[in-house]
């Protein structure tokens, strides 16, 4: 048996031990066959078996970024409170697995026609809503149509513009027909807006009640405060090890951190990076520091002066020293941005595009060309955007002075930030979660008519390439298109991207998880409640 084969076998054995799929006696026998000594096999068994999921207990989850104005309407999902709650009490057709691959949720399988224009999703016949009703194809059709049509106000409307028709093939199969091929459609169904709600029978959905088919059912709660949920016995998937979940909204970083240290919560969704090393020395706390495609952006409204001048936009991009910001604000837990919304951990990342560096002299030259010497602008930010977000903007303002730019940092209230500031104020700080493919991200935030086109950017060539790339099945050609789109974002777009932030969150004593965690959102792709357990 080769060394490589030995390791493959040992990895499978360890996974079986973690999930309870093998007895200790069988484990020891197979480990010996793989070449381990008895003492080494005993140690491996102890480590792996310790991580075996256990049922029971109340998981108290301290979550940042929650507002009193949040709602159960999937079309309005935007804050972490709504996203985390949705992944706890509702289901989706597909999901991002802990290894960041695409996995099943309500859909057990899916297949497409050769041109990728028509997709069929087979639904799990055992899935039920918390109210007791079975999940059927009509629920899926009406839930997706909630984001379509002229009357829809959903933020995800732009993602479904190519959908021509959604039909049922019996009670447990849904057929989605597209105007053009879309190889990413199953990935698209993981977008957090596309939660499946009960159909009202008239083409609309019941989102108001909070009914869902996810691993936990809502018992009580209020937006911006807290939620109490109990395990859904009809949950169709794996996990849901806790008996009960309490989600507590803790927007204040000090309160959040204190609650974790004192044991008032078992997990927090975001920690203060300046205390990262201190928490890592605490034997009762486990810090997860996960690279991601989540980004911090500073969008400038391209239809509003002075940001309507590309020279001004690029001057502001050149006036930021990203290396210093990553060192002093992110404490190294980030990847430097290059002003296009694609990170090194995501597919199609173009590694040959020159990195934009801090160059205040060139920024001055561009401002002179634009007739905006001694530029003065306001930059809105709130603590809830990102740990250290306000400090980041203050540091940026100091850096920009060398380019003759005066940035007035406006500290906005946490509550209502994404409803009152984002998309309304012409220059602000924003936190984006990762999206599974470039098409999803670009369609959501950079397409000319997207509801979340946060920089109000309209580039004809970019929009043309976006449509072509969506249905291109030749991966090399598709990569070339995405590279050109990234160049357009970098050189013409209105979004400054300081960095792609790691998800840095922490667990208290006794909270266990599998070795791999999803990088789409913090806390295991926002699914900590259903994937983790108490030792």
Digit-coded pLDDT (tens) for 150-190:
999 999 999 999 999 999 999 999 999 999 999 899 999 99
How many C-beta atoms surround the C-beta of residue 250 within 10 A? 25
- Based on the fold, state whether residues 246 and 384 are members of the same structural domain: no
Spatial neighbors of 484 by CB under 8 A, at least 6 apart, are 461, 465
- Based on the fold, state whether residues 496 and 374 are members of the same structural domain: yes
- Based on the fold, state whether residues 29 and 12 are members of the same structural domain: yes
- Based on the fold, state whether residues 447 and 384 are members of the same structural domain: yes
- Based on the fold, state whether residues 348 and 447 are members of the same structural domain: yes
Average pLDDT estimate for 324-347:
94
- Based on the fold, state whether residues 287 and 301 are members of the same structural domain: no
Average pLDDT estimate for 508-526:
94
Q: What is the mean pLDDT of the chain?
A: 93
pLDDT classification of 5: cutoffs 50, 70, 90: very low
How much is the pLDDT for 21?
A: 56
- Give the span between the Cα atoms of 332 and 449, in whole angstroms: 36
- Based on the fold, state whether residues 175 and 324 are members of the same structural domain: no
How many C-beta atoms surround the C-beta of residue 369 within 10 A? 13
How much is the pLDDT for 365?
A: 98
- Based on the fold, state whether residues 286 and 301 are members of the same structural domain: no
- Give the span between the Cα atoms of 95 and 211, in whole angstroms: 19
CATH number at residue 241: 3.40.190.10
CATH number at residue 350: 3.10.105.10
- Based on the fold, state whether residues 136 and 281 are members of the same structural domain: no
- Based on the fold, state whether residues 256 and 323 are members of the same structural domain: no
Which DSSP category does 243 fall into?
S
Q: Does residue 10 carry a pLDDT above 90? A: no
Average pLDDT estimate for 444-467:
96
- Based on the fold, state whether residues 370 and 491 are members of the same structural domain: yes
CATH number at residue 130: 3.90.76.10
Does the residue 197 lie in any domain? no
- The last residue of one of the domains, among 188, 206, 222, is 188
Does the residue 199 lie in any domain? no
- Based on the fold, state whether residues 13 and 26 are members of the same structural domain: yes
Domain hosting residue 135, numbered range = 91-188
Beta-bridged to residue 506, according to DSSP, are: 268, 287
Tally the domains of the chain.
4
Spatial neighbors of 274 by CB under 8 A, at least 6 apart, are 331, 388
Please tell me whether the peptide bond between 306 and the residue prior to it is cis, using omega within 30 degrees of 0.
yes
Does the residue 33 lie in any domain? yes
Q: What are phi and psi of 10, to 5 degrees?
A: -65, -40
Average pLDDT estimate for 457-472:
94
Query: What residue has token string 């807006």?
Result: 193
């Amino acid at each position: 048996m080769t060394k490589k084969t030995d390791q493959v076998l040992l990895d499978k054995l360890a996974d079986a031990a973690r999930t309870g799929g093998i007895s200790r006696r069988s484990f020891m026998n197979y480990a010996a066959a793989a070449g381990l000594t008895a003492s080494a096999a005993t140690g491996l068994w102890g480590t792996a078996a310790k991580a075996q999921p256990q049922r029971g207990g109340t998981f108290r989850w301290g979550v940042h970024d929650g507002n009193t104005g949040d709602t159960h309407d999937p079309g309005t999902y935007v804050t972490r409170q709504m996203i985390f709650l949705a992944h706890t009490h509702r289901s989706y057709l597909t999901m991002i697995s802990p290894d960041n691959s695409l996995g099943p949720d309500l859909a057990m399988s899916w297949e497409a026609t050769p041109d990728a224009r028509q997709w069929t999703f087979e639904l799990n016949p055992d899935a039920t809503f918390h109210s007791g009703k079975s999940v059927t194809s009509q629920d899926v059709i009406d839930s997706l149509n909630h984001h379509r049509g002229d009357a829809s106000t959903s933020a995800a409307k732009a993602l479904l513009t190519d959908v021509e028709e959604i039909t049922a093939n019996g009670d447990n199969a849904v057929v989605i027909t597209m105007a053009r091929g879309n190889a990413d459609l199953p990935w698209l169904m993981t977008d957090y807006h596309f939660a499946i709600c009960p159909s009202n029978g008239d083409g609309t959905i019941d989102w108001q009640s909070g009914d869902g088919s996810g691993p936990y059912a809502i018992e009580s709660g209020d937006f911006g405060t807290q939620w109490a949920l109990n395990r859904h016995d009809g949950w169709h998937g794996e996990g849901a090890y806790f008996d009960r979940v309490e989600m507590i909204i803790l927007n204040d970083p000090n309160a959040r951190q204190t609650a974790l240290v004192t044991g008032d919560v078992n997990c927090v969704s975001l920690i203060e990076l300046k205390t990262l090393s201190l928490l890592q020395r605490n034997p009762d706390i486990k810090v997860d520091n996960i690279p991601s495609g989540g980004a911090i952006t500073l969008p400038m409204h391209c239809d509003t002066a002075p940001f309507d001048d590309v020279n001004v936009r690029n001057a502001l991009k050149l006036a930021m020293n990203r290396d210093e910001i990553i060192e002093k604000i992110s404490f190294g837990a980030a990847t430097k941005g290059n002003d296009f919304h694609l990170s090194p951990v995501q597919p199609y990342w173009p590694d040959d595009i020159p990195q934009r560096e801090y160059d205040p002299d060139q920024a001055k030259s561009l401002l002179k060309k634009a007739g905006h010497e001694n530029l003065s602008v306001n930059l809105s930010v709130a603590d809830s955007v990102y740990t250290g977000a306000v400090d980041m903007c203050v540091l940026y303002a100091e850096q920009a002075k060398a380019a003759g730019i005066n940035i007035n940092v406006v500290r906005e209230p946490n509550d209502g930030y994404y409803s009152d500031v984002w998309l309304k104020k012409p220059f602000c700080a924003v936190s984006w979660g990762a999206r599974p493919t470039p098409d999803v991200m670009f369609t959501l935030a950079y397409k000319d008519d997207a509801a979340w086109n946060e920089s109000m950017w309209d580039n004809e060539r970019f929009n043309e390439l976006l449509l072509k790339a969506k249905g291109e099945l030749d991966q090399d050609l598709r990569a070339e298109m995405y590279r050109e789109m990234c160049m357009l974002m970098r050189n013409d777009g209105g979004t400054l991207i300081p960095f792609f932030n790691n998800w840095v969150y922490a667990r208290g004593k006794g909270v266990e998880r599998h070795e791999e965690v999803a990088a789409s959102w913090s806390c295991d792709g926002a699914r900590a409640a259903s994937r983790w357990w108490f030792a």
